Amino acid sequence: MVTIPVAALTSTGKTIPLVGFGTAEYPFSSSNEASKEAALQAIRSGYRHFDTAALYQSEQPLGEAIAEALSLGLIKSRDELFITSKLWVSNAHRHLVLPALQNTLKNLGLEYLDLYLIHFPASLRPGSVYPFKEDDIVAMDYESVWEAMEECQLLRLTKTIGVSNFTCKKLHKLLATAKIHPAVNQVEMNPVWQQTKLREFCEEKGIHITAYSPLGAKGTPWGTSRVMESEILKEIATSKGKTIAQVCLRWIYTQGVSVVVKSFDKERMKENLDIFDWKLSAEDLHKIEQIPQSRGSLAEVYITEKGPFKSIEDIWDGEI
């Protein structure tokens, strides 16, 4: 079984495994048994970080898998795992944050999370469901929502708090009033969207980056085939005797960034962990740096004349 390296979260002194197992399936209607079995297999393969969210509908099957892993002796205690979940935007209101986390913990059957993230820097009217309507989109009150996130950490319902899909500008706004700084910013990152500017900003502020869609998330509405069809990545993979996926994951690991991978296939789960005992050369890294850049997830569903985001520019603050 592979031992996965960890990175320190500077805001708390905790550590995060550098490769995590994602539980999101699109469309977001999780098959409980398939999700549970995949999580169990991931634990057997060596994964210790599991990424879920209220939106994914995968919290309950993940919780069942954790309970079964404990009963089977695959892990000795819950403390061996690092569990991340996310606050969905319809609950991104001061008075709804704590109840949302409590519901997440109930779904998982856990007493605490290791990391709780604001899923997206917007809010929906309370009670809105996915897919949502334009009239449901409202501006997030960053200060009050983050205060509620801080309260969750102070209550020890989560060991650390963070955000997802935040730009430099939005992080700057959050940091202006935050008493506890976000430990993590989980964002789209892969060789065709390398997030250089954001990574530099987060490193300066002591915020760890976790990458999602490391292979481009082909097959989802926000996904792209540009990663897996990149000729540069194909050439590097062939020369190394590795898969394109392994080259992508090794590149992310080389950047000091953690990554969330998702495959329910047993062999691919193992392949995605086979990235630690070989290296990309300086020439390989230089070639990857030259790949044309383009964001995959534009989040156009949040654009509306009546809402806080009237354009792609408003959402991503020029980081496109």
Question: Residues annotated as binding site?
Answer: 119
Residue 183 CB partners (closer than 8 Å, separation 6+)? 9, 10, 11, 12, 14, 115, 160, 161, 162, 207, 208
Strand 15-17 to strand 6-8: parallel, antiparallel, or no bridges (unpaired)? antiparallel
User: Phi then psi for 90, rounded to 5 degrees?
Assistant: -70, -20
Q: Which amino acid is at 34?
A: A
Chain mean position to CA 135:
27
**Range 152-190 burial, b when 16+ CB lie within 10 A, else e:** bbeeebbbbbbbbbbbbebbebbeeebebbbbbbbbbbb
Alpha-carbon span 84 to 252, nearest angstrom: 19
Question: Which residues fall in the annotated binding site for substrate?
Answer: 119
Active site residue 142: no
The CA-atom distances, in angstroms, between 275 and each of 18, 93, 235, 285 are: 11, 40, 17, 15
Q: Is the peptide bond before 27 cis (omega within 30 degrees of 0)?
A: yes
Q: Single out the residue of 290, 318, 275 nearest to residue 192, CA to CA.
A: 290
Q: What angle do CA 209, 214, 216 make, to 5 degrees?
A: 135
- Please, is 64 exposed, middle or buried when counting C-beta atoms within 10 Å of its C-beta (0-12, 13-18, 19+)? buried
Active-site option among 26, 47, 56, 116? 56
Positions marked active-site: 56
